[in-house]
C-alpha cells in the first residue's frame, strides 16, 4: 500500500466541571444516584419464574436482531468474496547506483540486496480471468502468485498489461480452473453520492479476504496517483484501508465495484487513519479495453521541460513582461509534438554578474483548450485525459504577445 504521510495537529481536550460562559450553555450534571434511578425506571421489572426465581432473559431472534444495513453487508460480502484475489509477489533484487559505481570505478561488485516480498489484492473483471490490481502491487515483481477465496492452492500469474500513470495493472493466473473465476460487476459513477455505503475487500497486513465498511466521504477529492504522481480524481472513504488492501475492490450496497483501493493518508504510522482513496470505477471502465489489448497504456506528452512561473520572483516576472501564472518552456526535445507545433525555449540570457536569467522570448503556456494553467499539474491532468492523435489548443505568450498554438499528441519517449 502506498501511503501518503499526513501531519495531524493534535489538540488537548480538557474535561472540567461545566459552568455557564458567554455564548456557552451550561451542561446539567447527572449524579450516580439519579442515573441509577432513571435506569431502574426505564428497565422492565424482572419476571419471576414458576419456582419464584428470576427467569432468564429471552434471547433475541438472530434474524430479527440484524439491522437492514448489516444484512445487506453480509449479502454483498457473500456474493462478492469469490471474486476477490489475494496476490503475493517476489521483488527481484536491483543493482543500485552505489553498486554500479563500485563496479565501474573499482572493478568489483557489491553483493546485491536480498529479493523482497510484497502482497496486495485484486479482483476478477472478465469471465476470461483477467484480474485488476494496482500497478504498484506488481511493479518490479519477478514472480507473482494468486489465491482465490476458499482455496489454499496458489497459482502463478503474469502481468498482461499496465497503466503506470493510473496505478492500474491487469494480471492473469495460469492453470486456474474456470469455475474459480467470478468477475465482479462494475458500478456507475454517476449514481454515487457522499454518505452511501462503501465496503472494502482485501488483505490488510496479509490478513487475506478481510472486510471493512464505511461510507463515501467525498467525491471531490484529488490525490497524486501513478508513477508520475499526477493529481487525479479519487473516491475518499473512511472504510479501513491498510497495507495489503491495495488493488482490492471498493463496493457499493449493490455489490458493484465503485473503485480500486489505492492509497491512505496516515499520521506517519503507515496504517489507516480513516482517510482512504480509491481509483474511481469510471477510470477503470475507460482503461479496461486498452488494458485488455496488452502492453503498457501510455499517456501523451508534449515532449518539453517546463518551468513554473511561480519559481520566478514577482520582480523578475514584471521586468520580463511575463504573466502572473503559466508554464515557461525550458527545453523542446527533437521530434516531439511541441517541436512540430513550433514551441520554443527562447534564447538564454546571462546577467552582468554571470547569473542565468529567464529568456524574454521563451514561450509561456497559459491555457490548454481555454482552461487556465496555474501550475504543471494542471497541464499533466489535461494531457492525462487525452489520447494519441488528439489535437489540443495551447494559449501561448511570447515576448508579450499572445497566440493560439495547435499541437497533435503523439507517442513520445524522452531521451535517457
- Distance (Å, whole) CA 78 – CA 266: 30
Decide: 175 and 156 in contact? Cβ < 8 Å.
Answer: yes
376 vs 176, more confident: 176
Alpha-carbon 318 to chain mean position:
39
Dump pLDDT digits (tens) for 324-346: 899 999 999 999 999 999 999 99
Contacts of 320 (CB under 8 A, 6+ apart): 312, 358, 360
Decide: 233 and 224 in contact? Cβ < 8 Å.
Answer: no
pLDDT band at residue 17 under the 50/70/90 scheme: very low
pLDDT (mean) for 203-214: 91
The per-residue pLDDT for 293 is 93
List the one residue out of 142, 143, 118, 144 whose CA is nearest residue 131: 144
- Distance (Å, whole) CA 141 – CA 138: 5
- Distance (Å, whole) CA 332 – CA 338: 7
Among 82, 121, 130, 136, the active-site one is 136
Per-residue pLDDT at 390 exceeds 80: yes
One DSSP character per residue, 120-184 reads EEEEE-STT-EEEE-HHHHTTEEEEEEEETT----EEEEEEEEEGGGTEEEEEESS--GGG--PP
- Distance (Å, whole) CA 251 – CA 237: 11
Share above pLDDT 70 across residues of the chain, in percent, rounded to a whole number: 77
Helix (H/G/I), strand (E/B), else coil: 101: helix
Report pTM: 0.70
Residue 72 parent element (H or E):
helix 68-80
Residue 63 parent element (H or E):
helix 62-65
Residue 31 parent element (H or E):
none
| Residue 149 is among the residues annotated as catalytic for this protein | no
Q: H helices within 116-239, ranges in order? A: 135-138
The per-residue pLDDT for 230 is 81
44 vs 316, more confident: 316
Question: Which domains does the chain show, CATH number per domain?
Answer: 83-180 (2.40.10.10), 189-296 (2.40.10.10), 304-408 (2.30.42.10)
- Distance (Å, whole) CA 152 – CA 180: 12
Q: Which of 211-215, 363-367, 375-379 has the lowest mean pLDDT?
A: 375-379
- Distance (Å, whole) CA 138 – CA 119: 9
List the one residue out of 395, 338, 397, 390 whose CA is nearest residue 371: 395
Among 246, 272, 282, 301, the active-site one is 246
Among 167, 208, 238, 378, the active-site one is 167
C-alpha cell at 405: 498554438
- Burial code of 297-308, b = ≥16 C-beta within 10 A, e = fewer? bebbbbbbbbbe
Helix (H/G/I), strand (E/B), else coil: 145: strand
**Do strands 371-372 and 364-368 pair parallel, antiparallel, or not at all (unpaired)?**
antiparallel
* 141: Cα within 13 Å, side-chain hemisphere: 24
Place of cell 534564447: 347
- Distance (Å, whole) CA 333 – CA 413: 10
Dump pLDDT digits (tens) for 45-99: 555 555 555 555 555 566 666 789 999 999 999 999 999 999 999 987 665 555 5
- Distance (Å, whole) CA 296 – CA 161: 5
C-alpha cell at 328: 515557461
Q: What share of the chain is helix, strand, coil (3-state, %, to 5)?
A: 20, 35, 45
pLDDT (mean) for 156-165: 96
Amino acid at each position: 500500500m502506498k501511503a501518503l504521510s499526513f501531519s495531524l495537529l493534535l489538540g488537548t481536550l480538557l474535561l472540567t466541571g461545566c459552568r455557564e460562559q458567554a455564548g456557552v450553555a451550561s451542561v446539567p450534571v447527572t449524579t450516580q444516584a439519579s442515573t441509577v434511578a432513571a435506569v431502574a425506571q426505564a428497565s422492565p421489572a424482572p419476571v419471576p419464574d414458576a419456582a419464584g426465581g428470576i427467569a432468564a432473559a429471552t434471547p433475541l431472534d438472530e434474524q430479527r436482531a440484524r439491522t437492514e444495513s448489516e444484512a445487506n453487508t453480509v449479502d454483498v460480502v457473500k456474493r462478492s468474496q469469490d471474486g476477490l484475489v489475494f496476490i503475493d509477489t517476489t521483488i527481484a533484487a536491483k543493482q543500485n547506483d552505489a553498486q554500479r559505481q563500485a563496479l565501474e570505478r573499482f572493478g568489483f561488485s557489491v553483493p546485491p540486496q536480498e529479493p523482497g516480498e510484497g502482497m496486495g489484492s485484486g479482483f476478477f473483471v472478465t469471465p476470461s480471468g483477467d484480474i485488476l490490481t494496482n500497478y504498484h502491487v506488481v511493479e518490479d515483481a519477478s514472480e507473482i502468485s494468486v489465491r482465490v477465496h476458499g482455496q489454499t492452492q496458489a497459482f502463478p500469474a503474469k502481468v498482461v498489461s499496465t497503466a503506470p500513470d493510473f496505478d492500474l495493472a491487469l494480471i492473469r493466473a495460469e492453470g486456474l480452473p474456470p469455475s474459480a473465476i467470478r468477475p465482479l460487476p462494475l458500478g456507475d459513477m454517476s449514481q454515487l453520492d457522499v454518505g452511501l455505503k462503501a465496503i472494502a475487500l482485501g488483505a490488510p497486513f496479509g490478513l487475506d479476504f478481510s472486510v471493512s465498511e464505511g461510507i463515501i466521504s467525498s467525491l471531490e477529492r484529488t490525490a497524486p496517483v501513478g508513477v508520475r504522481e499526477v493529481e487525479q480524481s479519487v473516491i475518499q472513504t473512511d472504510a479501513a484501508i491498510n497495507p495489503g488492501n491495495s488493488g482490492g475492490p471498493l463496493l457499493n450496497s449493490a455489490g458493484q465495484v465503485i473503485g480500486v483501493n489505492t492509497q491512505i493518508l496516515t499520521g506517519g504510522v503507515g496504517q489507516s487513519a480513516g482517510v482512504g482513496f480509491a481509483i474511481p470505477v469510471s477510470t477503470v471502465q475507460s482503461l479496461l479495453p486498452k488494458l485488455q489489448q496488452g502492453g503498457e497504456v501510455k499517456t501523451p506528452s508534449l515532449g518539453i521541460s517546463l518551468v513554473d512561473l511561480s519559481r520566478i520572483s514577482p520582480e523578475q516576472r514584471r521586468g520580463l513582461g511575463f504573466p502572473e501564472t503559466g508554464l515557461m518552456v525550458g527545453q523542446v526535445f527533437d521530434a516531439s509534438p511541441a517541436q512540430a507545433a513550433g514551441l520554443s525555449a527562447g534564447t538564454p540570457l546571462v546577467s552582468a554578474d554571470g547569473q542565468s536569467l529567464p529568456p524574454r522570448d521563451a514561450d509561456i503556456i497559459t491555457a490548454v483548450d481555454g482552461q487556465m494553467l496555474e501550475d504543471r499539474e494542471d497541464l499533466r491532468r489535461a494531457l492525462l485525459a487525452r489520447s494519441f492523435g488528439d489535437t489540443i489548443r495551447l494559449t501561448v505568450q511570447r515576448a508579450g504577445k499572445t497566440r493560439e498554438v495547435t499541437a497533435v499528441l503523439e507517442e513520445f519517449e524522452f531521451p535517457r
